[in-house]
Structure 1
Amino acid sequence: MRLLRSTDLALRVLMQLAVADAAAIPTTRDVAAAVSAPYTHVAKVVAELQRMGLVDARRGRGGGLTLTEKGRTASVGGVMRAFEGVTEVVECEGATPCPLSSDCRLRGALRRAQEAFFASLDPITIADMVAVPAGPTLLQIGRVAP
């Protein structure tokens, strides 16, 4: 299984915000630099995270991104489901439909495996993801030496 780029970015943005210094609220550009991703991609992900209530984004002077309490306690599996959507693991229809589609057992098995993957991540929160040793390392990522 391969995750969408937006899912990967969403998790990295949430983790970066979870360790952000409250005195120096990062902007979308700061977070994009920290996670080594294009600003436009990160901006789209931040907009979705804000819509989900996981991130608070404020514009203008004194603005920036902060992680909400809901974001801190968000389930990694839940965030992944929201970004990945519930899609089929294999393409059974389309231009050349599979001749087994009416009697196939593979599609159901793969769907159950996909759900088991997400379910295994449900108990893990964003806060769990930034616990030691990851948190201190995240603080160093994207920092520019003085």
Structure 2
Amino acid sequence: MQFYFYNEGFKNAIDQYQLNEEQLRFTGDPRDCIKLSNEDSERSSILAMENNHLVTFFVLHINEGVKPYSDNDHAILLRAFSTDFRHQGKGHAKQVLMQLPDFVKENFREINEIVLAVNVGNAAAQALYKKCGFIDEGERRMGPKGELIIMSYYL
């Protein structure tokens, strides 16, 4: 699995990326996320590619983006995490999450914690994050799509 920071060379891969309605209940559309990343230098859109196919997309958000979820100035927010529905069930999301700590350490050297917010109704994602080392320390927030569980991975 290879990670890439989004650039216009990946536009075709993003245009072909597919999320179903169930996924869109809990995550953002990559096209919208990329637009926000282009307007905000604190957001990085990341593509996870397997055999030249985009299988997973996510955003890493520093500084202001993480503040609603953590008081740690050295935390980064994992947001809009999704896997193309045609590639679900193949272990890609788990593989990405297992590689994520090393990617963050390499590209965001000052970061010592990865934070995410997962919808309480998204049990599958909660189980995956726990399996990959994220910890639920009891923090909850309300988000635009419902109550969120805040989880952390300490680097």
Same fold (TM over 0.5): no
Instruction: Calculate the TM-score normalised by the size of structure 1.
Output: 0.24
Q: Report 1 or 2 for greater relative contact order, CA contacts < 8 Å, sequence distance ≥ 6.
A: 1
Instruction: Calculate the TM-score normalised by the size of structure 2.
Output: 0.23
Q: Which has the larger radius of gyration?
A: 1
